[in-house]
Amino acid sequence: MNSAKMLSSLIAAAALAFAGLTTAQTAPAAKAAPKALAPEPVDVKLERQKITVVNGKEVAESSAVAKPGDILQDTVTYTNKSKNAVTKLEANLPIPPNTELVLGSLNPNTAKASIDGVNFAALPLKRKVKQANGVEIEVNVPIVEVRYLRWYPGDLAAGKALVFSARFKVSDK
C-alpha cells in the first residue's frame, strides 16, 4: 500500500474509531469471486474518559455522561499489526463536537492543529485579518475554532504501538 493510500486509510480509520466504529477493507470491484479480506496493517483504537479530581488526585472515569465544564481525555492508539514498518504515519485526532482543546494537554506536545482538517500548523494557529484602515494584521485563531489534531511520528515499526492524547473541555453552549 503506498503512502498516500495508507494516509487516507489511517484518516478514515481515525474518523471511524472516533465514531465508535471499526474499519474494514472493501473488495476490489475487478474480482469476480469475493475472497477473505486482509486486515488493515494499522489498528486504530480511540478511548474517551472523563477526568475528575478526587481528594486532590486526577481520576479517569466513564465519559458516558458529561456536562458543561467537564474535562474529557481522548487517547488514540495506533498499532501496526503487519510484519513491516509503516512509513510516514500521520496520527489524527478530531476534536469532539461541543468541546474545546485544553491548551497544554497534548501528549506528545508536538501535535499540529487545524480548523478544517486539511491545513495543519503549530499552535497557536494564526490568521490574517484586515483592519478598518485596510492594514492586514496576524491574530491568533480562537482555540474554540480548532477542530483537528495531527501528530507526525514518522515510522511505526512492525508489531509496535504509538499513543497520542489530548484533553477537551465540554462547552457551555
**pLDDT tens per residue, range 7-20:** 334 344 444 343 33
Torsion sign (Cα): 106, 109, 111, 116: positive
Q: For 128-137, write each residue's pLDDT tens digit.
A: 999 999 999 9
- Residue 32 has phi, psi (to 5 degrees) of -75, -45
Residue 45 pairs in a beta bridge with 77
136 three-class SS: strand
pLDDT score of 153 more than 70: yes
C-alpha 146/C-alpha 54 separation (Å) is 30
Burial class (CB in 10 A: 0-12, 13-18, 19+), 99: buried
Give, in order, the Cα–Cα distances in Å from 110 to each of 102, 122, 132, 149.
14, 8, 36, 10
Q: How far apart are CA 46 and CA 168, in angstroms?
A: 14
Confidence of residue 40 (pLDDT cuts 50, 70, 90): confident
